[in-house]
Each structure stands twice: as structure tokens, then as C-alpha cells.
Structure 1
Amino acid sequence: MTSLLNEQQTSFIPEEFSPIRWSQSALELLDQRKLPAQTEWLRFNTAPDVAKAIHDMVVRGAPAIGITAAYGVALSAIEHQQALGRGDTTAINQDIEQLAESRPTAINLMWALNQMKTILAAQPNAQVIPTLVAEAIKIHQQDIEFCHSIGRHGASLIEPQSTVYTHCNAGALATGGHGTALGVIRTAFSQNKIAQVFAGETRPWLQGARLTSWELQQAGIPTRLVTEGAAGHTLKNNEVQWVIVGADRIAADGSVANKVGTYNLAILARHHHCKVMVAAPSSTFDLTIHSGEDIPIEQRAEEEVTQLQGIQIAPEGISALNPSFDVTPPELIDAIVTEQGIIEQPDAEKIRRHFQR
């Protein structure tokens, strides 16, 4: 434990539910792979272990990944403080590179790492450690505040007694707390606007089945779980007003990379006259990328498709395609909601104006 840190000042456990806690110079993550059957918190003391936790989906969701990576940089500085005292940041920069490679599509990851790198570059000595910890905590706290703002803006678009459909998990588990897509749903439900939520199961990790349904059930929000193949049937035979999802990266033209299956839903929603809302903080935008064609799509292990919890469900030797994300073009999106407000019928010019406020 470093003498540069006052634990009473730097430990941070959010007042509301969050899958991330900073305590006693260590990072604690709720192991989301084991939900809903088991609630287990894992403790991390090194950045490489944090990077592995991100890659292995102990923590997931773009905002939560960014927060976790920021804490990972703080852990690296603590671990390598003797070298840092000599002005040597080599080991920390190597840890930052490893964190950056853990989930390449989620732009919040790079945004948070860049925040931490700027601080480190300005003060490359051991005295920077408390500042790095404070910045990680600030990123965490700010994300919770942003989620509440997103919730309020998104809820303003929803009419009373609405039925909505959500995909993957963009709730408190995917953020610092409250959630983006589920933040909108939570806020709208508190305003008596939500009558029913349909939650897509989200193969192959089943985040919708395991995580979103659990979160909504905990909040007392009426929820029905839907298989991926039943999405079209559900939209056709139920009056669903909104499909509400999160995002992992948004290009300058409004193209949205999100959990694979989002593109399918957007096409189905357009056919069935259902609106599509994307809820995400400003840090999810990558304005250096002009269109969705330039967004890197993470390809994950084939075993995630051919196996279920380690049990082979497909023929031995069969090949599988396992993209973790797909890209929805802006013409299929009715609104992008950030902490700053609402971008209706998004395009490059509207997004540019949104960030010039």
C-alpha cells in the first residue's frame, strides 16, 4: 500500500448500485459472468489482471469498461511507483497498451485511457499517483451523473403507457451506475410511462437474459424475456413504441456500433413503425471516424458460439463467426440521447452542432 494515498479520502464505493468499487488501493468488480445465479466480487491489484478481466467480460459495457481501465492505470502507477519516482513510465505505458487492447471496439476505453495518459505525461513522478486515483474516481462519479441526465432526456421522448424493447445490457451493470438505455427506462418507469419492457436474450453471452432481466426485475419493472429469433414476431404483434439500446462507439455521421443484433432490430423496427433510441454518453462518440465502415469490430473466440458454459453444443470441428458488435446506420435511428440532450434524426451536421454547444 502506498504512503502517498490516504485511503479514507480515495476509497470510493458509489451510493447507488454499481458493478465497480475502489477500496483500499484495489479495484473490486462484480463478476458479471456469474449473474444472476451468483453474486461474487473479485479484487484486482494490477493493471494486467484488470485488462484480462475486461477481455474475459468480468466487466462489460462501454462506460463501465472505460471506468475500469482508468482504475487500472491508477493500479499500475501504484505498483510501479518506485520506477515512477525516477521518472520512468515505461511499465505504466506498457500496462496502458495492454488495457487498450482488451476490448478494441468500445471507444470509452480509449477515452478514459487518454484522460489518464494526459495526467501522467504532465507529471511523470510518484506524486502523480493521488491525482490519477482522483481522476479515475471523477470519471466514475461523472458517468453516474451523465446516466441520470441521459435518463431524463430519453424519458422526455416516451409517452405514458409505452411498451419498449431493449437489447443486450445497457444498465447499471454496464456503466458507473443507473445505466444508459436502462437509465432511460428506469427514469420513464418512475414517471409512470412504461407499461412493459421486452428484453432480448442477446446471444452468445446472454446479457439480456442474465443481466437486463435481472436488473429490471430488481427495479420492479414489468419485463418479458424474448429470444433473438422472436424479435420480429414481438414487434409485429405488440404495440412497441421504442427500441432503446446503448452504444459502444458512435461515428461522426451517427453510425452506431453496439452489441451484435442491434442492426437486425433497427431494420425490424423500421418495418414495424417502431422508433429507435440510442442512449450513450458523449465519451462514446468517436468524431475522428467519419462513418460506421471505419469502426473496428471485435471478433471473439469461436468457442463462445460452439459451446455453452464449456459444454459443446455444436458439432466438433465446426467453424463459427462471432462478431461482438454490428453497426447501425443513422438513417435507421430516430434519436441519439446523450447527457447534453437529444439528437433527433442524427446526421453529421446535427452531431457537429450538438458538440459545439
Structure 2
Amino acid sequence: MQPLTTTSLQIRDNQLWILDQQALPQQKNWCLTPDAATLINHIKALRVRGAPLIGLSASLLLALLAEKGMAQAELSQTLEQLRIARPTAVNLMNNLERMNQALASTQYVHRMVEEALRLVAEDRALCESIARTGSALITPGSQLLTHCNTGGLATAGVGTALGVILAGWQQGKVQNVWVDETRPLLQGGRLTAWELGELGVPCQLICDSMAATLMAQKQIDAVWVGADRIAANGDVANKIGTYSLAVLAHYHDVPFYVAAPHTTLDPACPNGAAIPIEQRAATEVTGVAGSFGAVQWAQPDTRVWNPAFDVTPAQLISGWVLDSGVITPDQVQAGIFQPSAE
């Protein structure tokens, strides 16, 4: 396969390398990912994360394995193993469905390589469209709040919600970005704050519990988040804490936008209650671990409930910003989940 580089993925010497997002921002380590077991471990440990990026990494690995001579039957088994690595993020399933169609071809090696590279190129284009569409909704002088990480680290392109914010800043419309620390694993504090700093975008890091006070003080003009899955009725699964922000934004009359590619839509999922929610390890709440070491602040036997995602009901969302346009609340209420013209 030809060499390829995104912010978090590389193809070099016909090997897949993944930027270890657990080690950021203290270390920038690239992890060799030769097989499905290694990739699944990376996904579960959140070394590779972000719904679009997870789907792309799985697609690229399958294409490389096909090039290296793995038989169709074994490729099919590997594809099914990857399919269940991250149950909440539908991009993985959507990408693997396209790879499965390529695998069914008599020229499956060529078709799988072609399809994997097409998915990467499409994701870059989708991100650009989302950024262009979403930035038109940002008013001059805005202070924006974002949750988790939705930039180039999580996609092949400029990102989803963070791509919108970056475009707004480049247009001179963003005054400041409030960055939630974001549980689990503090991905806003570790990744988004670092990414915005690298881009030169002014930002301030806050604890997740501080957003309400900022909204009450009129310090937040809009909230922008990404999505791991959007149900057919407009309900959205995203990183835990997103629902809380939507409730706060609704109370304080602050616009709340979801930015995502159309690949995050799941028309087969009727509503948020049908979205599987991953539970994560208790140690992510009882302490913290990273490249800096490990710290335990709660008793080791403390009972913990640690969902990785929550579901935001459609009625709390001001707009769904897709690569194909904006879906409005009126459209969703009318049962017409189709984007309006840009």
C-alpha cells in the first residue's frame, strides 16, 4: 500500500502505525499495529479513539493483511473480530460493511486496498464540509465550549466539532474556546487543549462541573460536540457528560450543536435507548494512569459505575451539522431526518 499520513495514522513500509493517544501530550509514540488483536487492544485502551479514526484504522489494517496474503476466510473472521471492538461507535460498523463488500470480490486484495484508501480520502473531505457548514453558524466574537476530542486526532482530516471551531477561528469569529476536561481519561484536557494549543487557537481548560457557572455568567455562546452514533430519531450518543451539557445549554438558552459525518448516522437504530453503551474499567475513576505513572485516590474496592458514553435526546439539540448540510429540530420533529441546503 502507498505511504499515508494523518495526524494519528501512518502507513509506512507496508505497516500500520498508530499514534498512542494515551501517552499524549507528554509523549508522542507511534505503535506498530500488525494484527487485529493489537488493534483491538489499542481501541479498548483508547490509544486509538474517535469514531471516524477507529473505523479507518480497522479498514486500513484489513487492506494491509489482504496485501500480505491473508486468505478470504481468515480476513472475514478478522473483520468480525474488529466489528465488536467498539460497540457504541457506528462508523466502525459502516466502514467494515464496505470492506466486507470489497472482500466478496474475486479481486478482493485490490478492492480492499482501494476501498480503505477511499474511506480515508472521503473522511478528509467530510471533515472539510462539516467545518465549512458549521462555521457559518458561529457568530463573531463567540466563546465556544467543546467536550472530549473531535479534532484531527480523531479523524483523517481537520476533525468534526473541533474542525468547525478551527474554521470559525480562522474566519476571525472565535474569541475563546472552553475545553471540558472530559471523563474518562481526561481526553479534553490531554488532547483537545494540546491540539488547540498546537493550532494557536485561544482556549481555557475547565473541569466538567464548571460549565453551568460559565453559562450563567453568559460566558458561553454555543456548545459544539461530536457524536459516536446518531439514531434515526436524532438522539445522539457521545462521550459521557454530553447529556449534562445539553441540559445546561437548554436551561440557559445556549445553542447546542452536534457535528458529525453522515457515516455516524444509524438509520437502523430507532432511538438512543437502542444504542449500546460501553462500560469502562473502575480504575479510570478511582485514580489516574498515564505516561507519567499511576495515582490511586479512592479505596481499591470502591464500587464504580463508569459508562464511556451517554445519550442526548434530540429535543435538546439545536442542529445536527453533517457534511451534507444542517438538520434542524423542525425536520427531526417532523420525522424528516434530511439535511437542509448549505
Same fold, judged at TM 0.5 (above): yes
1:12 counterpart = 2:8: no
Q: Please provide the CA RMSD for this pair.
A: 1.8
Count of residues in correspondence between the two structures: 337
Structure 1 position 219, deviation (Å)? 1.1
Asked whether the equivalents of residues 62 and 106 of structure 1 are also in contact (C-alpha less than 8 Å), the reply is: yes
Superposed CA deviations along residues 241-280 of structure 1, whole A, max 9, x for unmatched, are 1100000000011000000000000000111110001000
Aligned residue identity for 1:13: T
Give distance in 1, aligned partners of 2:112 and 2:325.
Answer: 29
SS at the partner of 1:143?
helix
Per-residue CA distance 1:298-354 (angstroms, 9 max, x = gap)? 111112212210432211211100100000001100010011011121516465333
Looking at structure 1, the residues matched to 299 and 229 of structure 2 have their Cα atoms a distance apart, in angstroms, of 34
Task: Please say if residues 252 and 348 of structure 1, whose CA atoms lie closer than 8 Å, have aligned partners that are also in contact.
Answer: no
Alpha-carbon distance between aligned partners in 1 of 2:88 and 2:61, rounded to the nearest angstrom: 18
Give aligned-pair identity as a percent.
42
2:194 maps to what in 1? 214
2:124 to 135, 140, 144: 144
Deviation at 1:356, TM superposition (A): 12
Match of 1:102 among 85, 90, 100: 85
- Where does residue 194 of structure 1 map in the other structure? 174
TM-score (norm 1): 0.90
Alignment of 1:153-302 (within 5 A): 153-302=133-282
Structure 2: which 5+ residue stretches go unaligned?
none
Q: Deviations over 1:17-73 (max 9, x none)?
A: x21112222111111001111111112121221222112111101011111111122
Give runs of aligned pairs for residues 113-132 of structure 1, distance below 5 A: 113-123=96-106, 127-132=107-112
- Residue 122 of structure 1 aligns to a residue whose secondary structure is coil
Residue 17 of structure 2: aligned partner: 28
Residue 3 of structure 2 aligns with an amino acid whose one-letter code is: S
Partner of 1:341: 325
Q: Give the letter aligned to residue 327 of structure 2.
A: I
Structure 1 residue ranges, 4+ long, deviating more than 4 angstroms after superposition: 348-351
Kindly state the Cα deviation for residue 79 of structure 1 after the two structures are TM-superposed: 4.5
Give 5+ residue unaligned stretches, structure 1: 1-6
Give me the whole-angstrom Cα distance separating, in 2, the residues matched to 1:52 and 1:94. 17
CA–CA separation in structure 1 for the residues paired with 2:281 and 2:336: 34
Structure 1 Cα separation of the partners of residues 45 and 65 of structure 2 = 19
Determine the structure 1 residue equivalent to 2:310: 326
SS at match of 2:5: coil
